[in-house]
Structure 1
Amino acid sequence: MKINRKLYVSLALLGGVTLVWIVMTIGLVLLTLAPQQRVVVSELLMPRLILVVLTWVFGLGLMAATLRWLIQRYSTAPALLLEQTRTLLASPKALPMNHQGTKETKELADVVYQLAFQRDQLRDEVSTQVALASQGVQQEKDRLAALMAELTQSVVVCNLDGRILLYNNRARLQFKAMSQSPSLAGGAELVGIGRSIYAVFDRALVAHALDSIQQRLLRGAANPSAQFVTSTAAGQLLKVQMAPVRTSNTDDANNVLNGFVLMLENVTRAFDEENRRDQTLHGLTQGCRASLAGMRSALATLEASEMTGEPRTRQRQVLHDEMASMSRRITDLDKEAMHGLKTRWPMEDMLGTDVLLVTQHRIEKYCQRDVSLEILDDSIWLRVDSYSLIQALVYLAARLVDEFDVKFLRLRLLSEDGIAKLDLIWTGQVMSTETVMTWEMDSMQMGAESSPLSVRDVVERHSGELSFGRERVRHEAFYRFALPQVSVQDQPDAASLLHSDSRPEYYDFDLFQTSDQTSALDDRPLSELIYTVFDTETTGLNPSEGDEIIQIGATRCVNGRLLRQESFEQLVNPGRIIPAATITIHGITQEMVSGKPPITAVLPAFHTFVTDTVLVAHNAAFDMKFLQMQEKATGLKFDNPVLDTLLLSAVVHPAQESHRLEEIAGRFNITVLGRHTALGDAFVTAEVWLRLIPLLQAMGIHTLRQAREAAQKTYYARLKY
C-alpha cells in the first residue's frame, strides 16, 4: 500500500506539471501570432485536440512505468532489505535472504547473510561451551523434574504476587478435579505458569497464612509453615500446607520472603471415608454389647437349670469372667475410639465463610433442604476441626428435618467481642429446653449413620459454648456455636506481603523477580505481560449475519516462552448447518460437532482461561466480533486488551505486500503445522508474536499502549466485521 501511494502521488504531480507545461506552451505560441493567425491555428488544432490529449496520456503512462521501476529499484528494494535484515536479527537461524534489487543491494544482502551465518556459528559454539559448563546444573534440573513428576502430593510454587512459577503433574490433575468444567478446559483455566493462584484461593486466606509465617520468622523460627482448609468453587474440601521460599542473597535471608510453596491435598474423599470408618467401629461396638447381653441371658438360663454343685459354680464363674473381660475390652476400645474421634482431625485455620459453604453443601445433600447463608462478617477466621464441627451441624439439621419437618434452614456467621457466633436457624415448631439438652448429649445419629461423639463433645473439642435461642419477632429459633476467633495480625502487614493486585514445562523461576505492577497495564513492557494467543474456526465470514464459532483454540505465552502444554481446544456445536464451502477450508464436518457443547457452555471456561492476560490473534477484529456477538447470551464480556499480529506485522514490515499468516511465518522461518485448525493457528500466531516483540522494541515500541497505538495507525486497522 505504501508503494502504490508513492506511485500515485508522484504520477499525479508529474501529470499536473506536464499538463501545465503543455497549456503554457500552447499559450506562449498563440501569444506570438497575429490575431488572424491565432484563428487559423485554433481552427487547425481544435479538431485535433484529442491527439494532444492521447499523446499526453501515453507520455504519462511511460512516466508511470519508469517511476514504478525506479521506486521498486531504489526505494522499495532498500526498504525490503532493511526489513529482511531486521527479521534476520530476530531469527534464531539465518536463512538466505533471496533479495531482489539492484546489484549493490543484492551484494549487501549476501554480506548481511554471511555476517548472520557467522553469528549463528558463534552462538552455537558459545551454546556448546555453556552446555558443557552447565551439565551439572542441568542434571540437577532433570532430577528436580523427575522428583516433581514422581511426587504423589500436589505441589505449587508461587511468587509473592501469587503467580504460579512451578507445579507438578499431580497438581495439574488436582486442579482438573477442582474445575467447574473439567471436560472443557481440563483445569487449564486454574493452573498455569504465570497464572494467579487466587483463581482458586481467596486472597485474604493466602495473606493470612503468609502473615502467620512472617511473624514466626521474626520470632526466629527455623522452618515455619502454615496450614489451612478451604473449600473450592466445585464443592471440594482442600487441605493446604504452606512453606516459605526465602531469599538467599541477602544478609537477612531468614526473614525475607521471596515466595511460597503450597502442598495440596483434597480431603473430600478422606472426609467421607473417615465417616464410614466411624460407622463401622461404632457398629462393632454396639454389636459386641448386644452379644454381651445375650451371654448374660444365657447365664441366667444356666442359673435356672438343674445343674448343681461344683460344676455349676465353675461354669457360672467362667461366664462371669469372660463377660467382665469382654466388657472391659469394649469399654477401653470405646474410650480410645472416642479420644481418636475427638483428636484425629487437627485444629486448622479456616475462613468462616468456607465452613459455612461446606456445611451448606452437605446439609442440602443429606437433608434435601435448601439452605441460605447470612454472612455478616466475611473476615472471620476460626481454628476448627472441620470434620467434627460440620458433622455436628449436619446432625442437628437432620434431626430438625426428621422430627419437626423443618422446611427452611439458614446458616449465619457474625462476630461479637472477639467471639465468632455460628448459628443454625430454622423456622417452625418451637422445641422444649429438655429436647434441646437431649439432642446435645445424645450420640450423633443420622438415619443408618451414627457416631459415638455428641454435639457437646464437639463443642468441648473447640473450647466453645453451645446455646439455644429464639427470635420471637421473626418466629425463628437457632442453635448458636460460640467459637474462639483466630487472632489475625494487623491487616496492613498481611497486605504488604502482596506486591500487587495481580494474580515440567511446568516452571519458570524467572517469575521470582517480581516487579511493581501497580502501574496501568497499558504502561507495562511487552516483555513482562502474559498473553493468551487464540484463534477461532467458524461457519463463515459474517458474524453479524448468523455465522457461528465451531472451534476455539488457545495457548499461552509467559516470559517470552510459548507454553504449548497449557492450551485450550474445543469443538463447538454451532446450532446450524456448516456450509460445504467452509468445510474444505477447516475440515470440520457436521458429524464432528454433533454432540459437542454449544458456545454458551464453552465461553465461560474460555473466559476463565484468558483471565488476567492480553489477548493476541491474527486479524483479531474477526475473532473478537464473534465473541462480542455472544455477550448477551452468556453475560460474559471479553474486555481484555487485544493485540493483532496482522496489524503489528504491517507496523514492523510496512514494505511487504502480504501480511497473511503463512507469509509472516515464512519470513520468520516458522514451520506451519495444523493450518486452519484453531489450535494449530494459535501456535503459529504465538510464535509470530514472540518474533515480533524484539522487532517492535527495536522501533521504540516497548509498552502495550505504544503497540496498540501503532497498530491503529496502519491501513489494515480500517477492517470492520
Structure 2
Amino acid sequence: MIARLSLRLRVFLFFAALAAGNVAALGAGLYFGYHRLGDPSVLNGFIIGGATAGFAIIGLITWVWYLFDENVARPIERLAGGMRARAHADVGSEIDHAPARYLGDLAPAAAAVTENLSQTRNALAEAVARETTRLAGEKDWLETLLADVPVGVLLCTPRHKLVFYNGQAVDLLGHFDAAHAPGLDRRVFDYLHEAPIRHAYSRLIATADPDVATDLLCATTDSGRVLAARMRLLCPSQTPGAGAPGYVLTLRDVTGDLAAHAARERLMDEFFERLRHPAANLQSLIGVVAETGDTLPGGLLPEGMCTAMRTEAAALGTAIKDMSERHDATRADWWPLSLIRAADLSAAVQARLAAVELRVEAETEDLILRCDGFEIVALIAALILRAEEGGRDGFTLRVEADGAGALISIGWRGAPVALADLERWLAAPLEVGMADVTGHRVLSVHATECWPEGGPAPRICLPLREARRDTARPPAVPRAVVYDFELLSKAPTAEVVASRLEDLTYVVFDTETTGLLPSDGDEIVQIAAVRIVNGRRVETEVFDTLVNPGRPIPPGATEVHGITEAMVADAPDIAEVGRRFHKFAEGAVLVAHNAPFDMEFLRRHEAGIGKVFDNPVLDTVLLSAVVFGQSESHSLDALTHRLGITIPEEARHTAIGDTLATADAFLKLLPALKARGLTTFGAVLEEVRKHGRLLKDLNA
C-alpha cells in the first residue's frame, strides 16, 4: 500500500509519524513524572511545559520536513522525471542538477548516466540511420510503384533500362518466352516504341517539377498493341549518383477500346456524311421550287407549304450540323490526352527540326494545351518539312488563344500550299515508328481539322479545342501511399480500459474560440486534429477547418489566434463541422491539452450536431503530472520545453500548430508512462485520477 504512494507523500508521513512519536514520548514522560512526584499543585506547570515542548517539537520537525522536502524529496522526484524523459522521450538536453545540490554525488551520477545514454543512443542512431537510408530509398520506390497498381508497372533508369516490372506488365508487353520476356537491365525500347517515351521523358525533365506526370500513347514493338501510359519521374533521392532521375511507367491496354471507339467514329462519320449532302440538296431544291413556281403533279404548291418545307429543310440541316459539331466536340474527350505548355510544345518542334538543320521562329502565348504533345509535335514538324521541300523558308510557329481553345499556325515566305497538297501530306505516315499514325489520324483524335490560307502571309492553321491560360499550377494530388501492415495482425480488444496503449487509435485535437467562456456564448472558430495509429502520427490524416461562430469575434481573441470575421464568413457552422469531426474521431481516444475546455465547446452543441462525443479522453496536462510530478508547471509551453519540442512562433495559438505540438508531446509521454508500468488505458486512467485537483477527469 505504502509503495504505491509518491515519494514526497511517504516522506511527509515519515516526519508526521516522527512528530507524533516525539509528542507521544514527551506526554508519556511528563505523565509518569507527574505521578511520581505526586504533587497536584504542579499539574498546570507540567501541562504548560508539555504543550510548549510539544509545539516546539512539532515546529522543529515541520521545519526539518520542509527542508528535507525542498532539498531532498522534491529534487529526487524532479531528477527521476528528468531521467525518465531522457531515457524514454528522447530529450537531448542535459539534466539541471542545481536543485539537487544537497544530494551529494547523486545528481552528477544521474547526469553522467543520462549523458552516457545519450552518447550510446547517438551511436546507435547513426548505425541505424545508415541502414535506414538504404531502406528508405527502397521504400520510396515501392510506394511510388504501389500507388498505381493493379496496372502494368515499369520502373526505368535514366538510360531507359528496366529495374522493375510486374506481372501485368509482362502480359501487356506480349512476351511469354524466356528469350523475349522483359528482363532487368534491358532497354524498355525493346518492348515499346521509342519516340513517344523519349518525348514524354524529355518534356518532364524540362519542367523540373517532381510532382508532374504526363499521359501518352505508346505501342508494343511486336504486336502493335496500343497502351495508354502515364509517366512520372522519380525523386532525385531515389536515383542517387545517376544524374538525371529515373521514371515510372504505368500501362493500360486500350487496343480494344480504341478499335471499338474508332469503329463507332467511322459509323458516326458515315452517318453524318450520308445525311449532310441530301439535306443540303433538299434545302436547295425546295428553295428553287419556291422561287421559280415550279409545279408538281397536281399543280402549283401552295405558298404556305413552300414556306413550311423550306423551314423544315433548314431545321433538318441545322440539326445535322449541330449534332455533327457536338459529336466532334465529344470525340476528343474519350482519348487519353494530357496537358502541355505551349512553350514546351514549340520548343519540342524547334528541337526536332534543329536535328535536320531547319530553323523555326516561335511565338507563343502563355497557354496550357490539352493534346497529345508527341503526335502534335510530329504533325507540325512533318508539315514544315513538307512545306520546306517546295522551296519555302523563313518558317514561324505561332500558338495563340482562340476562344476556349488555341490556334496553332505555321507561316513561311513563299507560295501558299494548295488544299490537295495538304490532304496528301496529312494522308502520309508521320515517321514516328508507327505506320498507322497519319496526319488525318492525329486530327481525328483531337477532333479538329487543318486548312491552308493564302495571301501575302501564307500559313497552315491547326486549331485545338481546349486550352487555358498558364497560371500558377494548382497543388499536386497527393501520391503518398499510407500503410501500416501491423494492423493486419492486431486482434480487437473488447474494452478500451483493458487495451494496451499502443493498440489504441488516438485523435489529438485543439480548438480556437471567440473567448474562454462557453457558458457566456463563446464559440469555436477553428478546430484541428491529427490521427495517431499504431504509435505513429499519420501525416496524411489531418482535420483542419475554420468554423463560422455565428457571432462577432472580439479583437482580443483575434490578437491571440489571428482569425478575423472575414476569414470565417464563408466557413461552415459548428453543426456541419461537428459532424465531420465526429466521423474523423470515430472509434478513437480523444487527446487534448486541457481537454475539459475543448470538450465543453463540443458537448454543448451535441443536440445541433446530432452526435454524442462519448469517446474516451486523455489529457496531456494530467499525463504530464503523472510523469513529472504535480508540483511542476504543466502548460503546453512548459511541457513541450521539457520534452525538447519546438513550436514555431507563427504556429503557436493556431489550432493545427498546437495540435501537432500536443501530438508530439503525447507520443513522447507514452514511453515514459509504459516505463512506470502504466501499459493499459485503465492503468493510466487510475493514475491520472490521483491528480484530480489539477483538472477534472472526463471518463467518469
TM-score (normalizing by structure 1): 0.47
Choose between structure 1 and 2 for higher RCO, CA contacts under 8 A separated by at least 6 residues: 1
**What TM-score results when the alignment is normalised by the length of structure 2?**
0.49
Asked which structure has the greater CA Rg, the reply is 2
